[in-house]
Amino acid sequence: MVNAPTVASIQVNESNVVWYNSLTSTTAIAPTTTLVNGIYYGAIKDPVTGCESSVRLAVTITIKDPGTPTTTDTTQDFCLVNAPTVANIQVNESNVVWYNSLTSTTAIASTTALANGIYYGAILDPVTNCQSAVRLQVTITVTNPATPTTTDTTQDFCIVNSPTVANIQVNETNVVWYGTLTSTTALAPTTALVNGIYYGTILNPMTGCESSTRLQVSVTINNPTATPTTNSATQNFCSSNAPTVANIQVNEANVVWYSNPNGGTALPAITPLTTGLYYGAISSLIGCENPVRLIVTVNVNTPGVVTTTSTTQRFCLSKAPTVANIQVNETNVIWYSTQTGGTPLAANTPLTATTYYATLLSNITNGCANATRLAVAVSFENDALYPITSTDDTPCVFQGVTYSVANGKSNYVWSVTNGTITSGGGTTNGSATISWSDVGPGTVTVTYINTCDETTTKTLNVTVATCSDLTITNTVSNPTPNFGEEIVFTITVNNVGQGTILNTLVSDLLPSGYEFVSASTSAGVYDASQIWTIPTLNAGESETLEIRVIVLPNGNYLNVATIEISTPLDVDPTNNTASATIEPICLTVYNEFTPNSDGANDFFRIDCIESYPNNELKVFNRYGALVYSKRGYQNDWDGTANVSGVINRGDMLPTGTYFYVIDIGDGKVKKGWLSIMR
């Protein structure tokens, strides 16, 4: 049926045969008509005359179809490694041939290698050579799992770890291993590894396919590293050196340490050491450490400290001191001449003027040999190195200066020329404060017994200077007073030098323009001769003189104060004179007048008012009410009010007392009381 036979396919031995549906039918069947089961009647037809056979040939036709093949899986998977062919496609029937398409007429050879795609199957009847009219479609997938990969194709293992095939490192899962490239029997994962090459494939657990190309891994089985050794199974360290695991002494390189005798994690080399047991193994890149570890007992000790009451010690050279004489508070002390390293000094080593370094004997034995050593500076008594020192190398007269001797110890005897000891200076005093009496040379001498029981005398020559400097100032309380007004001159004398000054005489001779009223001083006396005597004036101090005077209408107003003499003499006389002067105002107010028109004292008079044309006069009654006001007053007020208020403008003011204010300009104001008498 698959060949689609037609009437032309009916086999006869002659040509020009036409076919009919019956013996008597007159309508021939077209040659292209598809055959069906039944009887066909043939006759030979003469193509020239058109005559046909009188007797027709009867042929019984049977159309056969072997049927479409069947399968249990229309999508079939194969492994490339198994080299599958067309013959491996699973069907339930025999005599099945395969094609590349539904209409292909050329069957695929059964030995053709399978490839991914659709295959079309038909049953071939070996007798009739008929094939299925409808072909079976099967989708084929040929699977090839990738070759497994690894980070190391030459892998080392340690025999003590009992490595197996499962320990071979690969980057994928579902890898199976073989002993050869072509072996078909996989090794069990528990198979013990041996030296050699192993071949791995990825096994697809769904299809059972394996990689067509196998990964090769070379395996080496190693023996464990040796157990490390040490020169000391008990090792001492010093806490001050901050020891770490890396400091444990062993004779081999690449040793790692554990806190446990077996297992555990290796300690980092920078791990600080503590007292206890440490377990060492020679490190192996493949993890093949010896399970038998080296045991080291570690003691981390705290260094002992050497102390002393003095880190600078002085000795008497005459007593031949040795290292044993250096004072420390501990026993079993070892001395060195260097801060680190070096050789211990014998106890009878003579001392020299240098620095010695001490540590405890226990530090040497407990790992703290490098602990910080106590430094003691050694020197010897030498009185020549310690002269008398002073707080001032250029003293002033009457100035208190302290003199000291640094290395004296007892039985002090102090003596002075041209001065007096004001404090200290006793047999137990290493210093004395001296006040120098006069300008010129002086000496300080002290005798004492030093620490070496030697009597020593020291002398210091001194040149005493005056160092004095007096200044004077002169100020006046009012530089522009009125005639007859009382003012105050203030004279100040300052000691700006360094020493005390005695018996200072200051002159202040009042000129003719003043009338003396009184004088007062902060110290000393200002006598009738107009001389001010100051008994004592210490450095940095000041004293004042106040002189009260009345300003006269005429005379000399320049007041001069002068420092005449002092003990000691002032070194700078240029600032020993000070002056003060005034510019008196001619403004005399006559504070009583009688405005009764008798021609005598009828007006309020102010002398010199004409000198101040911009003046302003205001008069108030005793209740503060303004009764008179005039700018440019000219001595012409007769007691008449010119301001309306409590009294009318133009009225005569009654007898009484009034308050006046005169502003003469430039901020100068004169105030006072006046009386009107009628």
164-182 pLDDT, tens per residue?
999 999 999 999 999 999 9
Please, what's the largest Cα pairwise distance for the chain? 207
CATH classification for the domain delimited by 470-580, as one of 3.30.70.1290, 3.90.1150.10, 2.40.50.110, 2.60.40.1530: 2.60.40.1530
Under DSSP, is residue 170 helix (H, G, I), strand (E, B) or coil? coil
Q: Tell which residue, 167, 183, 83, 81, has the closest CA to residue 175.
A: 167
What is the model's pLDDT at position 5?
85
In the chain, the amino acid numbered 509 is: L
pLDDT over 80 (residue 665): no
Q: For residues 241 and 371, give the distance between their C-alpha atoms in angstroms, rounded to a whole number.
A: 8
Domain 383-464 CATH class label = mainly beta
The residues, any chain, with a CB within 8 Å of residue 572's CB and separated by 6 or more, are 469
Q: What is the mean pLDDT of residues 83-108?
A: 94
Query: According to the CATH classification, is domain 592-676 in 2.60.40?
Result: yes
What is the model's pLDDT at position 1?
53
Task: Say if CB 660 and CB 589 are below 8 A apart.
Answer: yes
Q: How many CB atoms lie within 10 A of CB 591?
A: 15
Task: Say if CB 595 and CB 619 are below 8 A apart.
Answer: no
Beta-bridge partners for 420: 435
Per-residue pLDDT band at 578 (split at 50, 70, 90): very high
pLDDT over 90 (residue 567): no
Q: How many CB atoms lie within 10 A of CB 527?
A: 10
The residues, any chain, with a CB within 8 Å of residue 324's CB and separated by 6 or more, are 347, 348
Q: What is the mean pLDDT of residues 360-364?
A: 92
Task: Say if CB 189 and CB 175 are below 8 A apart.
Answer: no
Q: What is the mean pLDDT of residues 216-222?
A: 95
pLDDT over 80 (residue 399): no
Q: Which residue in the block uniquely carries the two structure tokens 């090794």? A: 187
Task: Say if CB 564 and CB 505 are below 8 A apart.
Answer: yes
Q: Tell me the average pLDDT of the chain.
A: 92
Chain segment 448-474, per-residue pLDDT in tens? 988 788 888 999 999 988 777 899 999
Question: Alpha helices, DSSP H only, in 163-287?
Answer: none
Task: Say if CB 348 and CB 370 are below 8 A apart.
Answer: no
What is the model's pLDDT at position 407?
67
Q: For residues 122 and 134, give the distance between their C-alpha atoms in angstroms, rounded to a whole number.
A: 7
Which structure tokens are listed for 627?
A: 């009764």
Dihedrals φ, ψ of 389, to 5°?
-110, 160
Q: What is the mean pLDDT of residues 46-52?
A: 90
Least confident of 136-150, 376-390, 409-423: 376-390
Least confident of 145-149, 154-158, 280-284, 393-397: 393-397
The residues, any chain, with a CB within 8 Å of residue 428's CB and separated by 6 or more, are 410, 412
Domain ranges of the chain: 1-63, 75-142, 154-222, 234-301, 312-379, 383-464, 470-580, 592-676
Using a pLDDT cut of 90, give the percent of the chain over it: 71
Which structure tokens are listed for 657?
A: 């007392």
Contacts from 321-324 at CB under 8 Å and sequence distance 24+? 321/350, 321/351, 322/347, 322/348, 322/349, 322/350, 322/351, 323/347, 323/348, 323/349, 323/351, 323/356, 324/348
Q: What is the mean pLDDT of residues 580-605?
A: 90
CA distances from 506 to 160, 399, 537 (A): 115, 23, 13
CA distances from 183 to 179, 195, 213, 215 (A): 7, 18, 12, 13
Q: What is the mean pLDDT of residues 63-68?
A: 86
What is the model's pLDDT at position 464?
86
Q: Do domains 383-464 and 592-676 have the same CATH topology?
A: yes
Per-residue pLDDT band at 3 (split at 50, 70, 90): low
Chain segment 233-264, per-residue pLDDT in tens? 999 999 988 999 999 999 999 999 999 999 99
- Of 129 and 498, more confident: 129
